Amino acid sequence: MSSKITHVMKRSGAVVPFNKDRITNAIYRAAVAVGGRDRSIAERLSDQVVAILEQTFPPGRIPTVEEIQDIVEKVLIENGHARTAKAYILYRAERARQRALEAAGLERDPNNIPYRKLWEALVWALDHELHSLALLNERIQRGEFAEIVRECEEFYQAELDFAVQHILPRRDQIRIVIIAGPSSSGKTTTTIKLKECLSKEGLNLVPFHVDNYFFDWELHPKDEFGDYDFETPQALDLELVNDHLRRLLAGEEIRMPYYDFRTGKRYDAVTPLRLEAGQILLIDSLHGLYPDMTKGIPQEQMMRLYVEALLQMKGPNGQFIRWSDVRLMRRMVRDAAFRSYNPTQTLEHWHYVRNSELRNIIPYIHRADCIINSALAYEVAVMRPRLIGYCPEWLERYRNDPLKQDAFLRAERVCRLLHAVPPAVDESVIPPTSLIREFIGGSAYTY
């Protein structure tokens, strides 16, 4: 039977259709955060929330998001789900804090901004006349695209060399090297290149593939559109990851699971692995800085590197281009080229990506021993011909859809950037070992 509640008022004042699945998903997401994996419980609790809504609000009275969330808290507590209620309350508080920061024109905790790296990147951009899209355009129009590529590749190599020099003095202590960072920051290419550099220095690195520790698809939170959330650290079996890492460092053999992304199933105890004397584990993971992944492992045995596209370039509006928009474009292109996932789907999923970054990645930047800047000043020009054709569709589709305002705002910014730069004139000058090849194809590396 359909609910008597037909609409809900968002914080913006927009009135949208009521969807019980949004309540179920919110409860299930909070349960997953504390180790729960039974979606049927979330469904029963959301039924109770709807029943209270129907008793509380007379016909014609539209509940607000805040009023519904208050009832969710009440139902969780009264049904004895204290830990889930706490996770839900903390999430609401964090989202309220983020909204306040955004309203004040701030998006990041100033304690987590790598100011020194930003200063170095800005000085480099000024020295190379690449601190604005307008200057990039001028240099491309002067026929300097190949030179720009060379300069950017040299900059990125210097970042890698800097990281290597952080690791080598501790080579006798370190047992784990972690490459962490947000989605499409270039972790995979950075990991491959660092392994090459460190191998030349005589270090023996063994990959530890965290992606094999995902839970099965049906245990993941998803939204009312059927989109699964793989971005949260709770999508991984963190307890098993941590147990295996500790056992490997103790000299034991483990059997790693195998995750089949085609079927969404994990198969346990598949691949034997032992860390021999002198070997170092190499981990590439979104959530490599997340405390529960390496809980109990001595700090001196780890080197934690953080990768981010710290582009210091002003866009057509005079403001610095957002790093998250650079990574969104990267992921759109990569998903379309290698994952049968079109750019529109990537755009609509990006709210999961960004919310998880703000909650589970950015707060732990301070745990990194070294930060690597993966931004390439020429990459907007490379993305232009691959994405600009989607702009009219995005802006038309999302402009007046209150449920897709996040997608609209991001699409609007990205399209403004793409229209402000000419396309790359000759991509053959981009070397096959370039980080950008991870996203556009033609790489010398296997991903």
Helices 379-387, 405-419: crossing angle, 10 deg rounding? 110
CA distance 431 to 320: 27
Q: Are residues 150 and 215 in the same domain?
A: yes
Asked whether 349 and 222 are in contact (CB, 8 A), the reply is no
Q: Rounded to 5 degrees, what are φ and ψ at 273?
A: -150, 135
In the structure encoding, which two tokens stand for residue 121, read together? 């990147």
Domain end point (choices 103, 136, 168)? 103
Residue 260 and residue 152 in one domain: yes
Round the CA-based radius of gyration of the chain to a whole number and report it.
Answer: 23
pLDDT at residue number 86: 87
307 falls within a domain: yes
- Residue 270 half-sphere exposure, CB side, CA atoms within 13 Å? 10
Cβ contact 418:326 at 8 Å: no
pTM assigned to the model: 0.85
Q: How many CB atoms lie within 10 A of CB 111?
A: 8
Note whether 30 and 129 are same-domain residues: no
One-letter amino acid identity for 56? Answer: T
CA distance 311 to 321: 7
Q: Are residues 250 and 301 in the same domain?
A: yes
In terms of domains, do 207 and 295 share one?
A: yes
18 and 124, same domain (yes or no): no
The SS3 call for residue 259 is: strand
- pLDDT value for 442: 97
| CB of 293 closer than 8 Å to CB of 285 | yes
Looking at the structure, tell me whether residues 30 and 137 fall in a common domain.
no
The C-alpha atoms of residue 244 and residue 224 are separated, in whole angstroms, by 35
The pLDDT, as a whole number, for residue 109 is 55
Q: Are 154 and 400 in contact (CB under 8 A)?
A: no
Tell me what pLDDT residue 105 has: 53
Boundaries of domain holding 40? 7-103
- Residue 425 pLDDT: 79
Calculate the dihedral angle through the C-alpha atoms of 229, 234, 236, 237, rounding to the nearest 10 degrees. -150
Cα–Cα dist 241/248, whole Å: 11
> Is residue 445, in this structure, part of any structural domain at all?
no
The total of structural domains in the chain comes to 2
Q: Does one domain contain both 258 and 378? A: yes
Q: pLDDT tens string for the chain (447 positions)?
A: 467 899 999 888 889 999 998 899 889 888 988 888 888 999 999 999 999 999 999 988 999 999 999 999 999 999 999 899 888 888 888 778 777 766 655 455 556 678 889 999 999 999 999 999 999 999 999 999 999 999 999 999 999 999 999 999 999 999 999 999 999 999 999 999 999 999 999 999 999 999 999 999 888 777 666 677 778 898 899 999 999 999 999 999 999 999 998 899 999 999 999 999 999 999 999 999 999 999 999 999 999 999 999 999 999 999 999 999 999 999 999 999 998 899 999 999 999 899 889 889 999 999 999 999 999 999 999 999 999 999 999 999 999 998 899 999 999 999 999 999 999 879 999 999 999 999 999 999 998
